[in-house]
Amino acid sequence: MQFTIAQFAVLAVAFGIAQAAPAPVADAMAPAMTDPAKVSLKPTAISKRGAPASKGTTALSAAKTILPGQKFDGGMVMFDRGRSCTGQVEGGNLDAVFVIKAGGTLSNVIIGPNQVEGVHCEGGCTLQNVWWSDVCEDALTVEKSQTAGQTTRVIGGGAFNAADKVFQHNGAGTLSISGFTVENFGKLYRSCGNCKTQFKRNIIMNNINASGGKSLTGINSNYGDTCRLTNINLKNVKETCAKYQGTTINSQEPVRLGEGPDGVNCLYAMGDIKSS
C-alpha cells in the first residue's frame, strides 16, 4: 500500500510520530563564535618558515633598556643593531638589542639578523610574541642576576637559524617557554655548563614545535637542574633532554652523562613527546 505525503502527515499526527526538525542553516556572513575559555596559545606550525612580516625596521645605536616593571610593545617592528653577527663570540649587555631589567616585559618584537646578543634578561622577565629571524650567539640570555625565586617567561614567538643555543640560562630560578616555534638550531635551551658561579636551574616547556635541531634541552644534573616537558612536537631533532656534569671552570667543557627521562632531572613521559 502506498501513501501520499498528505496521507502520511495525517497518520503522523494520529499516531504521534515525531518529525525530525530540519537542520539549521548557518548564515555564511555571520562571524564564527569562539568560546574564550577554550582559546589556547598555539605555536606556529612547523611547516611555516621564518618570522612574521615586520612593520618596519629599526637599527639601534645602543641596546634599548626596559626598566623594572616597564612594558615595551614593539608593534611588530624589526629591531637590530646594524652590525653583522660575529658567530659564537661571547658578548655582553652592550652588544644586546634589548636589555630587560627585573620584572620588565618585551612584546611584539622581531629581532633582526644584524646583531650579536639578541635579548638579555636580568631576572623575572616576560617575553611575549618575540621572534628572532636569525639567531646569532644566543637569542635570549637569562643573566646570573636572576634569583632562585624568579621565573622568566617566554610566551609565543619563535626563533630560526641558531648555530648553537637559542636560550642560555646563566642565573638561578626558572625559565618557562610556551607556544614557541624553533627551526634549524643547535640547542633550544642550555643551562650554563661552565659558568664560574653555578646554580640549580629549572626549564619548563609546553606546546613547543621544534624542527631541525641537535638537542631540545641541556641541563646539569650535578647541580640539581630539572627539565619538565609537555606537548612537545619534534621533527628531525636528535635528543630531547641531555644531562651534563657541569663545572665552574670556565675553560673546561662539561661532560655529557646521558639523555632521556629519568624521574629525577628529566621529568617527562615519552607520551609527552611526539617525534617524526
The grid coordinates listed for 125 are: 622577565
Percent of the chain surpassing pLDDT 90: 77
Confidence of residue 88 (pLDDT cuts 50, 70, 90): low
**Does a structural domain hold residue 14?**
no
**Does a structural domain hold residue 146?**
yes
**Does a structural domain hold residue 2?**
no
pLDDT tens per residue across span 204-214? 999 999 999 99
**Does a structural domain hold residue 138?**
yes
CATH of the domain at 140: 2.160.20.10
Confidence of residue 49 (pLDDT cuts 50, 70, 90): low
Half-sphere exposure of 272 (CA within 13 A, CB side): 17
Asked if residue 47 has pLDDT above 70, the reply is no
| Average pLDDT, integer, range 192-204 | 98
Distance CA 125, CA 153 (A): 6
- The pTM for the full model equals 0.82
The pLDDT score that the predictor gives to residue 90 is 67
pLDDT tens per residue across span 25-34? 333 333 333 3
The pLDDT score that the predictor gives to residue 89 is 64
pLDDT tens per residue across span 226-269? 999 999 999 999 999 999 999 999 999 999 999 999 999 999 99
Nearest to 257 by CA among 220, 226, 228, 202: 220
Task: Domain count for the chain, please give it.
Answer: 1
Asked if residue 160 has pLDDT above 90, the reply is yes
**Does a structural domain hold residue 172?**
yes
Asked if residue 4 has pLDDT above 70, the reply is no
Residue 258 structural domain: 77-275
Amino acid making up residue 20 = A
Comparing 29-38, 76-85, 89-98, 110-119, which segment has the lowest mean pLDDT?
Answer: 29-38
**Does a structural domain hold residue 159?**
yes
Distance CA 211, CA 175 (A): 21
Q: How many CB atoms lie within 10 A of CB 105?
A: 16
Distance CA 96, CA 74 (A): 16
The pLDDT score that the predictor gives to residue 8 is 43
**Does a structural domain hold residue 251?**
yes
194 vs 26, more confident: 194
**Does a structural domain hold residue 6?**
no
